Amino acid sequence: MDLVDKTIVITGANSGIGLETARALAASGARIVMACRDAARAEAARADIAATTDAARLEVVPLDLAALGSVRRCAADLVARHPRIDILINNAGLFPFRKRLTADGFEMQFGVNHLGHFLLTQSLMPSLQAAGAPRVINVASMMHHLGKLDFDSFRGEKPYKPIRAYGQSKLCNVLFTRELARRHQDDGLLTWSLHPGPVGTNIMGRSLAARTLYRLVGAYMSPRRGARTSVWLAGADGIEATSGSYYDEYCKVKPGSKLSQDMALAARLWETSERLVAG
């Protein structure tokens, strides 16, 4: 697919997989909007990409997925400035070792990895649908196989177990994708979730200890390699029939976990998420 002059919004584009996704898609001639929480790191990333691409096609916007008010402000600004958004890549994510809550009182991994992206996608729908055949790409993880949905844990009510919370948030990504595809099967919107591979990023934190631990548990792949499936899904032709599917790091469709295929669970998560972002 020709990406020249396409507008692509990427969350968490200032480092790791998001940065390399932005770099690759900017080189294709697309207009890249880098939606990031840390303004200084985002500007540094923009300058880094601009050194080898057209700086005029790179834009930074503030987005804190841990605050629903920030998500709403970012989306309103984007819709006003970009009446057509061709591709949204929900890439940002985190994996804190200790229990934390978002500004709105949600368990941090659920709030950032799923709920913030859910609200962003819904809020950008006017510009996405104006594109005619928009694409929404959700970066999940094979860790969703370890996930179960505990609807009583979304506000951190249960004892915090980081791996359980991460698996739950990534399961939410896959379920959200499937339900998004079902709800838009007749209007041209296409969506996929993906496992980027065991990538060495700062998802567990920026400290040396956190980054070292992440590599020790098997995160050996480079962010550039980890961006491959996101980049491929953004531009591949002939994959329309797979909308709603879960892809692996080799750009192959995988079934995902049994729970991730439960459409009744996907619908319940969607309806719950709508209530939660409504306040």
Least Cα distance to 224 among 3, 5, 16 occurs for 16
User: Is 166 an active-site residue?
Assistant: yes
- For the chain, domain boundaries: 7-277
Phi and psi for 257 in degrees, rounded to 5? Answer: -70, 165
Q: Which residue has the tokens 């951190």?
A: 156
Q: Residue 212's pLDDT is what?
A: 43
CA atoms within 13 A on the CB side of 256: 27
| Pair 132, 124: CB distance under 8 Å | no
pLDDT, one tens digit for every residue, the chain (279 residues):
789 999 999 999 999 999 999 999 999 999 999 999 999 999 999 999 999 888 889 999 999 999 999 999 999 999 999 999 999 999 999 999 999 999 999 999 999 999 999 999 999 999 999 998 999 999 999 999 999 999 999 999 999 999 999 999 999 999 999 999 999 999 999 999 999 998 865 554 444 544 444 444 445 689 999 999 999 999 999 999 999 999 999 999 999 999 999 999 999 999 999 999 997
C-beta pairs of 119-122 under 8 Å, 24+ apart in sequence:
119/68, 119/71, 119/72, 119/75, 119/277, 120/11, 120/35, 120/63, 120/65, 120/71, 120/74, 120/75, 120/88, 120/90, 121/88, 121/90, 121/180, 122/277
Q: Could you tell me which CATH class the domain 7-277 is placed in? A: alpha beta
C-beta pairs of 207-216 under 8 Å, 24+ apart in sequence:
210/97
| Pair 209, 25: CB distance under 8 Å | no
Give the strand pairing for 190-194 and 135-139: parallel
CA atoms within 13 A on the CB side of 175: 30
Least Cα distance to 93 among 15, 210, 21, 177 occurs for 15
- Would you report the helix, strand and coil content of the chain in percent, each value rounded to 5? 45, 15, 40
Strand partners, 87: 8, 135
Active-site pick, 166, 214, 246, 247 = 166
